Each structure stands twice: as C-alpha cells, then as structure tokens.
A and B are shown apart, each in its own frame.
Chain A
C-alpha cells in the first residue's frame, strides 16, 4: 500500500506548487521558474470524444516541455469517491493516461460525491460523516492504493448545505479515514475558513483534533462572499487572514510537503499573469 511517508526532513520548507490547465504558454513560462510542482487536474485538461473522455494531447505536450524543471502531482475533481453506488470509472481512465505519460509524486481527490446514480450533479456534495460512508470510502481508497503505487490524498470540501446528522466530528472523520487506510490529506486553508463562516466550524478545535501528521499538501486560494456565504471559488489571491491560518498549519503539520496556490483557469483574466506570479513569490517568501 502506498501510504504517506514524507521523505523530506522535518526542517526543510515545503515545496511550492500551482495549478496550470493549459493553453497559456506565456503563463506557463512565467510560473515554472517560481514553482517546484505543477498540480494537474485530469478532468480540467480532458475532452470528450465520442462519449469517451481523454486528456488533451496538446496540454500534455505543454507539461512535457517543462518536465525537466518541475514535478507533477494530480488533483482530481470527478472520481466521486463517495457516491453510494459507484465511482466514476472514466476518471480513472484519465488518471491512467496521465500516469502513463508522467511520473506523479502523488494524486488526490475531493472527499465528495459528484455523481448520483450515474447523474452528474454539477457540484460537489460532501459526505455525511457516518460509519456507512467511512466504510465505503475506505474500501475505495484501498482499491486506488492497489491500482496506483504512489500515495493517495483526500481533500475535505466546503459544506454549504446544512450538516447532515453525523457519527463523527469533521476532524474525527478524516482521522478515521487516514488511520484505517494510510492515505494522506490535503488541508485547504480557505475551505476551513468557509466552513467556519458558513457552518460555524471551530478551526482551532478542528486542527487540535486532526492528525496533522497525515497532512501532506496545503491548498491556498481566495474566494468570494455571495449572499451571506463564503464560496470557495478560486478566483482571487489569498487573503492575509487565510495566509496566517496557512502559516499556522505549516508549523504544525510535520509531514507537509507541498503548498499549492490554486486558481481557476477562468480567473486568469482577473488575476493577471503578474498577479499570479506575485502571489507565488509572496507564498514562497512566507514558507521558506
């Protein structure tokens, strides 16, 4: 089983990663000297041909062109690891294609459901923190770990809808998954803030309970406030508040290997190439 076994020494600073979804060579050329890893989202660089999804070869070529300068990690959206009936096999085909082409340090998914009874829901439903959901997710993680011999990480998603009746606390549920399966975690600092704002999550209590030794990657992003809710749309730079929380997590997570600044491809116009590069420099300065 590929479990989380950080190789870097406890004192070395985490590496810096960012998202890149293709079609903007000028941006790629500017960000590569600033980062150590590129986070590839297989779903975001896929297209459907005759009802079958495949990775866009032109984007893969862009990654290949910088493969000597950066390492790659994969971060999925569409596996739907928590669907009651089945996960999305099509996503695994995309991942196979990516593994065939590149060496990935690890791959990850959201702890969520995006497909219900074969129907794409168009958003992510968080899982109820129940024994039933725990069993289902742990079994699927086991299958993933067997299939891909690199570590697998899960990321918690924000909760907008009222919390379902639960048998675990938010941190307790993640702890149960990581202790049963040996999989790692991605903590998203902005997602935690969204949950604090929208659902009253006590972040300090959450972090105190969470096994931070399982945290391998930290996500940074900025979002928006809309009709009284904080939304995790990766459309802006990281706020100072999120940054402070992230630095606290970095200090407390001994196995943390990578800090990733995430932004949507659609937000590049808003952020600008300069804005993205400035943000990467700012994060690098803060984490070193």
Chain B
C-alpha cells in the first residue's frame, strides 16, 4: 500500500509539474493519466476565475497580450497559492513585479496598490505610467488597441486612502535627458 505522505506529496508534485518522474507505480500511472491533465486544468481554472474577478485590468491586459492562462498556470505551478482570494490576488500581482514587460509590471503594481488601499492599508503608493492610464483602462475595457507610450511625458499617479477619491494623477512633461525605465 502506498504511504499517505508519499501519495499526497506525489500527487502535489504531479499537479504542479514538479520533480522527476515518480518511482512509485501508482504515481507513475497517475502521471500518464488524462485525468491528471483535467485536474490541473480545474485547479488553474479556479485561480484564473479568482484572479479575473479581483485583478480586472491585469487580467484584461494579459488576455490582450494572449498570455493570461500561461501566466496564471506558471504562477500556480511555481508558487504556493492561497485559498483566499485577497491573498491570491495580491500574491499574484506581486509576482508580476518582475515581469519582462513594463506595462504588465505597471498595471499589476497599480492594481496591487488599489487592493491594498481598499483593504485599509495606510501606506501610499506611487505609480508612474508611460501612457495615459484612463485611455489604457478604457482600451482594456473595450478590448481596443492599447494607447501608445508617450515619449514626451509621464503620468504620476498617487494612490492613498487619505485622498478624497483615493487616486490622483498628474501629467509631467519630460525635459530632455530625463530617464524612463
């Protein structure tokens, strides 16, 4: 009989595509099964669903870039995921801080800040956009083409629960020599 610890650790590794092919004959059988593919899909589907509801703009952007499922799957496989949507969302958005694309980093940073402040965080956050954020949100909402970055300016957004509307944003013209990331 398979020991409980081996069984559960083995199934978790298979679910999250970790480690080498198992030695145990039962786990090898699971590894080859179509059912494992379904179980993985269901587990990721739930995370996708939760992230979509909590991280609306990040999800829209990742979908626009045709990488949403891939990013969530990779996140699920590489991280411990919380069953609580608040923690899952914040952890997921935090994980995108190191994403290669700056726009993904910025949108994720914005939604993270918004979740934190709405949850009562006293800290304030500053997000710098390379394009008009409202136009970006509208485009994501309508699934339109995204506005292009604006070379001559940045939009500095402050998110703070002490602000009357929680968010302010100012446009700053760049002078020659200013650095943009």
* Chain A interface residues toward B at CB < 8 A: 43, 46-49, 51, 53, 78, 82-85, 113-114, 116-123, 125, 127-128, 130-133, 136, 160-162, 164-167, 198, 226-229, 231, 266
Alpha-carbon separation in the docked complex, A43 to B84 (Å): 9
**Residues of chain B with a CB closer than 8 A to A49's CB:** 86, 119
Beyond A47-B86, A121-B12, 5 additional pairs, beta carbon < 8 A: A122-B83, A161-B30, A162-B26, A162-B30, A165-B26
| Interchain CB contact under 8 A, B43 and A165 | no
* Interface of chain A: mostly helix, strand, loop or mixed: mixed
Instruction: Given A121-B12, A122-B46, A161-B36, decide whether A78 and B83 contact each other with a Cβ distance below 8 A.
Output: yes
Among A118, A133, A227, which residue has its beta carbon within 8 angstroms of that of B34? A227
Chain B residues near A (Cβ < 8 Å): 1-5, 7-9, 11-12, 15, 26, 29-30, 33-39, 42-44, 46-47, 49, 76, 80-87, 119
Do A132 and B1 touch (CB < 8 A)?
yes
Name B83's contact: one of A43, A51, A198 (CB within 8 Å): A43
Which single member of A53, A128, A229, A266 contacts B84 (CB below 8 Å)? Answer: A53
Contact B33 A162 (CB under 8 A): yes
- A47 close to B84 (CB less than 8 A): yes
How distant is the Cα of A131 from the Cα of B1 in the complex, in angstroms?
9
Bound Cα distance A43, B15 (Å):
23
Compute how far the CA of A120 lies from the CA of B34 in the bound complex, rounded to whole angstroms.
22
Q: Is the CB of B2 within 8 A of A229?
A: no
Which residues of B sit under 8 angstroms from A84, Cβ to Cβ? 4-5, 7-9
B7 engages A128 (CB within 8 Å) = yes
> In the complex, which of the residues B7, B35, B81, B85 contacts A122, with contact meaning CB atoms closer than 8 Å?
B81
CA distance A2 to B53 in the complex (A): 40
Cβ–Cβ < 8 Å partners of B49 in chain A: 266
Q: Which 9 A-B pairs have the closest CB atoms?
A: A48-B84, A122-B43, A84-B5, A84-B4, A116-B12, A123-B43, A116-B8, A160-B35, A119-B80
Cβ contacts A to B, 22 pairs, < 8 Å: A43-B83, A49-B86, A84-B5, A85-B5, A114-B83, A118-B80, A119-B12, A122-B43, A122-B46, A122-B76, A123-B42, A130-B1, A130-B2, A130-B4, A160-B39, A161-B35, A161-B39, A162-B26, A164-B7, A164-B26, A226-B38, A231-B38
